[in-house]
Structure 1
Amino acid sequence: MSSIAKPGDKTGSPSFFSKQATVARPGFSRWMVPPAALAVHLCIGQAYAFSVFNGPLTKVIGITQSAPDDWSLTTLGWIFSLAIVFLGLSAAFAGKWLEHVGPRRTMFTAACCFGGGFIVSAIGVWTHQIWLLYLGYGVIGGIGLGLGYVSPVSTLIRWFPDRRGMATGMAIMGFGGGAMIAAPLSVALMNHFKSATSIGVAETFIVLGIAYFISMTIGSLAIRVPPADWKPAGWTPPATTTTKMITRNHVHIDQALKTPQFYLIWLVLFLNVTAGIGILGQASVMIQESFKSTVTAAAAAGFVGLLSLFNMGGRFIWASGSDWLGRKNTYFVFFVLGAVLYYFVPTFADSGNIALFVLSYCVILSMYGGGFSTVPAYLADMFGTAFVGGIHGRLLTAWAAAGVAGPVLVNYIRAYEVAHGVAKADAYTLTVHLMAVLLVIGFICNLLVKHVDEKHHMTEAELAAEK
């Protein structure tokens, strides 16, 4: 493949990790790109399974039980929190860099950070230095999470302009499903490495770090971007005036932050995630307290697993459905159906109807996952595909904010209710009704989303200059 040297280039040949070197040659199948994206997202989805390490990490010194110098759960809780914070920060601040250097370099950097974070954390376990776990998994690994999350998305959208929702749904489904692989694998590895002098966590971190680095690197090497002006055979770009609100123009990443549409979609994602994430974290306790004499701890664990399946499946099904329903209409379904289900959930609990209670939360969690996978395509529809990866990265700050707001609302309102004499079985009524109100507000925000004003669109000359 030939290339033209640009000002400042030392050579006319692109480097292996440059954006130019990843341009697909004629005959390349776009269906090779989703597996490359999954190779990354299935790895970083491990973050949802990190809690399996919390118990063992409290017994690094004591081995069989916690010793006085062992770490507490509250101390260890900061590891995951830091990882999510740096996921959001790296996704937000590295977005423009991603668009300039391309997906291969970004995905390989994510592989180095995420895999390297496990290695640093393993050293932290061996030396019993908590700050190394904060630095390793929390900071370095968190940066890998953010870069790995956003880097394949814009590439998939460009390869599948005719099926944007399905394409992003495939990758982001991998993030939801990564924990289902990581949790049993981590437990099996810890049991394998466990001995009289080791709890097996450090060794497990080493194996996972190497395995994730290899898988994510393979994904980065396999990724390709379409040639300029490429489109699927026989596909005609939809007109801007269609009811699905798909633009044929492009908005710069910095200019997107000056539009009301960005902040309305930020609120749409924030409210949808807030309404789901808090319930997800308390699902086991909630169903046991709602059906105290019926649901055992084992059954509650099965309920949590079922919610995880719907969370993962919803990422693909809802995003794929948005290709014909439209992104804005899909979120209308999320907010209307979600608000109705949240309103009636306490009634199902009071009447002892476990089936409707479980079904309601399964649908709610499917829409929670669907919100994550549908929003990248929503952004591409509104702002074009040229900078969608960076714009998506900045929008993920809504996830970080919801990760705080959701659990706080659920936990503190429940604690307040119980402290004021409300029975535990009824303590979630106010909370879920509040979630219904949040979804109504989300409906209004989504209703206000209109086409981006033409003054924000890039000209052909500006777009060519950025490329």
Structure 2
Amino acid sequence: MSSTIQPPRTSGSPPFFSKQATVAGPGFSRWMVPPAALAVHLCIGQAYAFSVFNGPLTKVIGITQSAPDDWSLTTLGWIFSLAIVCLGLSAAFAGKWLEHVGPRRTMFTAACCFGGGFLVSALGVWLHQIVLLYLGYGVLGGIGLGLGYVSPVSTLIRWFPDRRGMATGMAIMGFGGGAMIASPLSVALMNHFQSATSIGVAETFIVLGIVYFISMSIGSLAIRVPPADWKPAGWTPTTTSNKMISRNHVHIDEALKTPQFYLIWLVLFLNVTAGIGILGQASVMIQESFKETVTVASAAGFVGLLSLFNMGGRFVWASASDWVGRKNTYFIFFALGAVLYLLVPTFASSGNIALFVLSYCVILSMYGGGFATVPAYLADMFGTAFVGGIHGRLLTAWAAAGVAGPVLVNYIRAYEVAHGVAKADAYNMTLHIMAVLLVIGFVCNLLVKRVDDKHYMSDAQLASGN
């Protein structure tokens, strides 16, 4: 089929925010879609940098130091936790709505929620009401995170059926890199607005809320969806060469009745669990493993390096999956990851910092790569008709891993230290457990087979969207 895009036949102009209004017209280049997706993902990636506000928020009243009535770090920690929970819930429960109304309305709603969440939070800082921060960034912002995360990804998959991994990798790389922009920007803004009577957080929230709303709105206005049955010029859908890539479609509700959904859920959960706990304790871990040689500044550099590999891995591994296959890519994640987790304690005990750092860089690249590869994996298995909603429901694995990973790392370390294990060796048991989890993930991935024909939608169902 030619790549020339035909305008949709309508009896009149559809509403601006309707799904029909976003169907691309003649001459539209699909390469305009990745920048629109990045305009959203680079904004919501700010979530990974929210910790830069924790310190200043403990001194809103005291300004130079915490006052008795200032918030504690434990109180503030719930803001980020609420945001991640709401991310998962909104992505999971808004799946059908997302597919019904299309990406433009979903992304604009995300812009309103995420940008508005900052404004509500700014009011909470001025009034010193923590509930408003929970409601603002935690609930509203979290909903914006969830809607903004899944909608551009599902649209990119439809535009790039020939390179699904590369397309999703581009967008989700933006989410990983958003913190690298947000962190220095937030610090610079707080320094600019700081005064004898203000720590500068509320003003910074207002600026960020407006900037992110504008950027995400531009992305929502620029997004387009391809017409039905559109294909890139010269591309022929895969038939018998790869049985793991389906040309049929599974309804979002029917996907939950397949073993493939739950196996891929476990694949994502186990891959993320093995990386997210390490990411949160990377600075402390390298300092305790190389107490005499690694300074605080060096540990901060190590964390920054891990962030780069986390971001780069999202694009590199997802792009590679277009060539080696999604299932084979996860085989690499689990097999190589398990070996590296078993070797890291040896590198630490022998004082080999270079191999220690390299191992964690590769592990974190596969952690990021797991996020970017799974949407294409889902599209291969369930088709593209409801991939956005199915992806949203699968992200509950992320929320679960966000609890399991840190618990494994923190509590097992505390148990080991309490029982006389040296701090430099306190992570060994955790790393061995991580390796076992990755072996289990390898088995889960091995069990993923082609979806049974009985789950596919008929042509009539596909036409009606039901």
Task: Compute the TM-score of the two structures, normalised by the length of structure 2.
Answer: 0.98
* Alignment-mate amino acid for residue 285 of structure 2: M
The CA deviation string for residues 204-245 of structure 1, in whole angstroms up to 9 with x for no partner, is 000000000000000000000001100000000001x43461
* Alignment-mate amino acid for residue 427 of structure 1: A
Aligned to 2:176: 176
The CA deviation string for residues 383-438 of structure 1, in whole angstroms up to 9 with x for no partner, is 00000000000000000000000000000000000000000000000000100000
Aligned to 1:385: 384
**SS in structure 1 at match of 2:187:** helix
Aligned residues: 460
**SS in structure 1 at match of 2:134:** helix
Aligned to 2:373: 374
> Which runs of 5 or more structure 2 residues have no equivalent in the other structure?
1-6
Give the conservation status (yes or no) of the 8 Å contact 2:119–2:136. Answer: yes
Q: Distance in 1 between matches of 2:236 and 2:432?
A: 45
* 1:146 is the counterpart of 2:146: yes
Q: Distance in 1 between matches of 2:282 and 2:186?
A: 23
Give the conservation status (yes or no) of the 8 Å contact 1:244–1:327. Answer: no
* Alignment-mate amino acid for residue 221 of structure 1: L
Q: Distance in 2 between matches of 1:244 and 1:332?
A: 17
* 1:221 is the counterpart of 2:224: no
Q: Distance in 1 between matches of 2:49 and 2:117?
A: 16
Task: Compute the TM-score of the two structures, normalised by the length of structure 1.
Answer: 0.98
Q: Distance in 1 between matches of 2:26 and 2:68?
A: 64
The CA deviation string for residues 179-212 of structure 1, in whole angstroms up to 9 with x for no partner, is 0000000000000000000000000000000000
Q: Distance in 1 between matches of 2:8 and 2:255?
A: 34
The CA deviation string for residues 53-75 of structure 1, in whole angstroms up to 9 with x for no partner, is 00000000000000000000000
Aligned to 2:448: 449
**SS in structure 1 at match of 2:405:** helix
* Alignment-mate amino acid for residue 211 of structure 2: A
Question: Would the alpha carbon gap of residues 412 and 64 (structure 1) be closer, same or farther in structure 2, given more than 3 Å must change?
Answer: same
Aligned to 1:15: 15
Aligned to 1:189: 189
- 1:14 Cα shift? 1.1
Aligned to 2:166: 166
1:329-348 counterparts in 2 under 5 A?
A: 329-348=328-347
Aligned to 2:268: 269
* Alignment-mate amino acid for residue 172 of structure 1: I
Percent identity of paired positions between Structure 1 and Structure 2: 89
Give the conservation status (yes or no) of the 8 Å contact 2:8–2:23. Answer: no
Give the conservation status (yes or no) of the 8 Å contact 2:317–2:329. Answer: yes
State the Cα RMSD in Å. Answer: 0.9
1:279-358 counterparts in 2 under 5 A?
A: 279-358=278-357
Aligned to 2:131: 131
Aligned to 2:415: 416
Q: Distance in 2 between matches of 1:242 and 1:352?
A: 48
The CA deviation string for residues 34-68 of structure 1, in whole angstroms up to 9 with x for no partner, is 00000000000000000000000000000000000
Q: Distance in 1 between matches of 2:241 and 2:40?
A: 34
The CA deviation string for residues 371-391 of structure 1, in whole angstroms up to 9 with x for no partner, is 000000000000000000000
The CA deviation string for residues 128-153 of structure 1, in whole angstroms up to 9 with x for no partner, is 00000000000000000000000101
Q: Distance in 2 between matches of 1:153 and 1:311?
A: 18
Q: Distance in 1 between matches of 2:243 and 2:78?
A: 42
Aligned to 1:72: 72
* Alignment-mate amino acid for residue 191 of structure 1: N
Deviates more, 1:242-251 or 1:121-130: 242-251
Q: Distance in 2 between matches of 1:426 and 1:85?
A: 33
Q: Distance in 1 between matches of 2:456 and 2:372?
A: 25
- 1:4 Cα shift? 4.3
Aligned to 1:56: 56
Q: Distance in 1 between matches of 2:15 and 2:465?
A: 19
The CA deviation string for residues 68-100 of structure 1, in whole angstroms up to 9 with x for no partner, is 000000000000000000000000000110000
Aligned to 2:230: 230
Aligned to 1:199: 199
Give the conservation status (yes or no) of the 8 Å contact 1:246–1:381. Answer: yes
- 1:27 Cα shift? 1.1
Q: Distance in 2 between matches of 1:242 and 1:436?
A: 33
- 1:26 Cα shift? 1.5
> Which runs of 5 or more structure 1 residues have no equivalent in the other structure?
6-11
Q: Distance in 1 between matches of 2:461 and 2:69?
A: 59
